[in-house]
Amino acid sequence: MLTVSTVNVNGLRAAAKKGFVEWLAATEADIVCLQEVRAAPDDLPEDLAAPAGWHTVHADSRVLKGRSGVAIYSRAQPSATRVGYGVTEFEASGRYVEAWYPGVVVGSLYLPSGEVGTLRQEQKERFMATFLPYLVELRDKAAASGCEVVVCGDWNIAHQEIDLKAWKANRKNSGFTPGERAWMGRVFDEAGYRDVLRVLRPEGPGPYTWWSYRGKAYDNDSGWRIDYQVATPGLATRAVKAVVERADSYDDRWSDHAPFTAVYDWPAGGDQAQS
């Protein structure tokens, strides 16, 4: 089995003070993808930058210090890593990092959030326009090497109405605009990837992965599913379990996101990716 977790930590140093360290110590994951780390490796204590028993690769934002940032922790050492996906505008933004293991390529993605009618939304749309061709390129490159792909992370888009509680009220808001939803559809239809959770749980609503800190959103489970594991079919169809690790209560949360963990029945080549 290969177990992969992904979580937006909403600031790794802050999450560590609230329970992330304990979660990492207890997880059975072979690979953990982090987003919104908000710190360069040199600014993190050793037990976060390179925890004992884990190999780590970080991509921090060199454009806006203390913002964005992604990382991959794995029990096995990757054979190769990559920061960014080759587009100059986003190369130093801490939005994407990739690690190659025998039989599987893992990406950690923090797709920009946006705000309709602002420059932030335009940036988000430029990222989407350039990242989709890269997903196709990565799929083909991995296949040529006998590998499957899983891109984990905070995609900042709810694909379907079943992916957020208040979908009617958010139809014109960033994260659920028709254009963004159509783009996610292209990831699945044109690029040929699969939404791992929906492979196993096609019916909704939810489960959600992000809840606002405002009001009673968490208590009322008024959330969004914006954290995904998006995999090539050869891996996605081997998923046997997918679970959102939702904290028991608001006070038990160490991020405004919950970890999303998937277990894959991965054959001989993939088994080598584990410790």
Residue of 73, 163, 257, 264 marked active site: 257
Report, as an integer, the average pLDDT of 102-127: 97
Tokens 């797709």 -> residue: 111
**pLDDT tens across 167-177, in order?**
999 999 999 99
Q: Cα Rg for the chain, rounded, in angstroms?
A: 17
Is residue 256 marked as binding? yes
CA distances from 232 to 106, 138, 216, 239 (A): 11, 10, 37, 11
- Active-site residue among 30, 60, 134, 154? 154
Find out whether 246 and 218 touch, Cβ atoms under 8 Å. no
Residue 162 predicted with pLDDT over 70: yes
154 is annotated as an active-site residue? yes
Catalytic residue among 73, 96, 101, 110: 110
What's the domain range around 222? Answer: 2-271
What is the CATH classification number for the domain harbouring 201? Answer: 3.60.10.10
Residue 181 pLDDT > 50, yes or no?
Answer: yes
Say if residue 72's pLDDT is above 90: yes
The conformational region for residue 44 under phi > 0 = left, psi -120 to 50 = alpha, else beta, is beta
Q: pTM to 2 decimals?
A: 0.95
Q: Is 156 annotated for ligand binding?
A: yes
pLDDT band at 75 (very low <50, low <70, confident <90, very high): very high
Quick check: 245 and 209 in contact, CB under 8 A?
A: no
Q: What is the mean pLDDT of residues 102-122?
A: 97
Catalytic residue list contains 58: no
Res 221: pLDDT: 97
Residue 13 pLDDT grade (very low, low, confident, very high; cuts 50, 70, 90)? very high
What pLDDT does residue 66 have?
Answer: 86
Sheet containing 194-195: which strands, arranged edge to edge? 80-83, 96-101, 104-110, 148-154, 227-231, 194-195
Q: Is 36 annotated as a binding residue?
A: yes
Domain total in the chain: 1
Q: Is there a binding annotation on residue 8?
A: yes
pLDDT, mean over the chain: 95
Query: What is the SS3 assignment for the chain?
Result: CEEEEEEECCCHHHHHHHCHHHHHHHCCCCEEEEECCCCCHHHCCHHHHCCCCCEEEEECCCCCCCCCCEEEEECCCCCEEEECCCCHHHCCCCCEEEEEECCEEEEEEECCCCCCCCHHHHHHHHHHHHHHHHHHHHHHHHHHCCCEEEEEEECCCCCCHHHECCCHHHCCCCCCCHHHHHHHHHHHHCCCCEEHHHHHCCCCCCCCCECCCCCCCCCCCCCECCEEEEECHHHHCCEEEEEECCCCCHHHCCCCECCEEEEECCCHHHHCCCC
**28 known ligand binder:** no
Give the confidence band of 272 by pLDDT, cuts at 50, 70, 90.
very low
